[in-house]
Amino acid sequence: MEAVWRIEVEDFPAFVVVDDKGNDFFEAVTKLVNTAGLLVPGRIGVSEGGSALLAGALGFAASHGLSLALMRRVRATIWAIVGIALLPFQEARARRRQCERGAS
């Protein structure tokens, strides 16, 4: 059994398609499309195009699927920036542990 919930978020229709176990159908198909587009450098446009097509197939505007894919890409970029910013702290911690082991 699948369910579609449609909610309004500041006049922007958002949607979630899940099965009875809580699996996100849209996310699963998007991952499948990304895997199929593995040969595209950086997969630029693969996720966005796949999400737009899938949203259109589900009866939503293609722009909603495109917006979702772009927000996912922005989220991934933000987390990559956070990871790169924290990398020097991890390096310092690893050096400190190495010095402690060497001093023992």
Higher pLDDT, 81 or 68: 81
Read off the amino acid at residue 82: V
- Residue of higher predicted confidence among 5 and 39: 39
Residue with tokens 């890409």: 73
Taking the domains of the chain in order of start, what are their residue ranges?
A: 2-78
pTM, two decimals, is 0.62
Residue 79 confidence (pLDDT) above 90 = yes
Q: State mean pLDDT over 4-25.
A: 59
Q: What is the DSSP letter of 50?
A: H
Please tell me the predicted confidence (pLDDT) of residue 84: 95
Mean pLDDT of 17-31: 68
Angle (nearest 5°) at CA 6 between 44 and 68? 10
- Which DSSP symbol is given to 24? B
